[in-house]
């Protein structure tokens, strides 16, 4: 059985994962209308991944005797300054999500809820990988700077970047 505090924090995390999915969907749509189809595909996939993260939490909360609440979401931005800024937003967002996961992990330790602690380890590795990928992308974008030809190549090459790999271990 989940404690009410852990259930509440897990429900907050459900909201964060759903909001991430919406946010990246907004990025996908923006990139698509700007003509960056490679970036758009990457963001569509990333948005789907976040929905999977949300679903995994929904199922866990309900299986443990809690009640997963489907959240209302704020509208994400419709436009972004440019493609590099959009990826910086993604990295900042992932860093904030990692912080939330860490807080959740710390509550499970304080409450000695070892099964939720164990469940959350998947999210800990996932966040590590997502942050690392976003940092790699930002390094590339910094090299490219404002060069349109470089961005064109980046849009083509991003198809080769893996959105996540922790998900591959998902049963």
Task: Check binding of 17 to ligand OFO (CB under 6 A).
Answer: yes
- Nearest CA-CA partner of 28 in 94, 97, 77: 77
Per-residue contact flags (x/-) with ligand OFO for residues 119 to 138, judged by CB under 6 A: -------x---x--------
Q: Are 124 and 101 in contact, with CB atoms under 8 Å apart?
A: yes
- Tell me whether residue 71 or residue 150 sits nearer to ligand OFO (CB atom): 71
Figure out which of the listed residues 97, 137, 141, 158 binds ligand OFO, where binding follows CB under 6 A. 97
Q: Which two tokens stand for residue 9?
A: 């924090």
**What's the CA gap between 73 and 84, in Å, rounded?**
25
Figure out which of the listed residues 9, 53, 104, 155 binds ligand OFO, where binding follows CB under 6 A. 53
Task: Check binding of 43 to ligand OFO (CB under 6 A).
Answer: no
Task: Check binding of 18 to ligand OFO (CB under 6 A).
Answer: no
Q: Are 43 and 131 in contact, with CB atoms under 8 Å apart?
A: no
Question: 25 vs 5, 37, 78, 144, CA distance in Å?
Answer: 30, 13, 10, 24
Task: Check binding of 19 to ligand OFO (CB under 6 A).
Answer: no
**What's the CA gap between 104 and 60, in Å, rounded?**
14
Task: Check binding of 107 to ligand OFO (CB under 6 A).
Answer: no
CB of 148 to ligand OFO, least distance (A): 29
Residues forming the site for ligand OFO (CB under 6 A): 17, 20, 50, 53, 94, 97, 126, 130
């Amino acid at each position: 059985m989940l404690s009410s505090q852990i259930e509440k924090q897990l429900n907050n995390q459900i909201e964060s994962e759903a909001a991430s999915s919406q946010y990246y969907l907004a990025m996908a749509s923006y990139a698509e209308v700007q003509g960056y189809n490679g970036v758009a595909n990457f963001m569509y996939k990333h948005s789907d991944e976040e929905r999977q993260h949300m679903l995994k939490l929904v199922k866990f909360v309900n299986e443990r005797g809690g009640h997963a609440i489907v959240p209302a979401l704020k509208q994400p931005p419709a436009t972004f300054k440019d493609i590099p800024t959009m990826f910086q937003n993604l990295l900042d967002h992932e860093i904030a999500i990692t912080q939330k996961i860490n807080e959740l992990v710390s509550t499970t330790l304080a409450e000695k809820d070892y099964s939720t602690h164990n469940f959350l380890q998947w999210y800990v590795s996932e966040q590590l990988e997502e942050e690392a990928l976003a940092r790699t992308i930002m390094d590339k974008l910094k090299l490219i700077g404002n060069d349109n030809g470089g961005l064109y190549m980046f849009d083509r090459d991003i198809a080769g970047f893996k959105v996540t790999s922790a998900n591959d271990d998902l049963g």
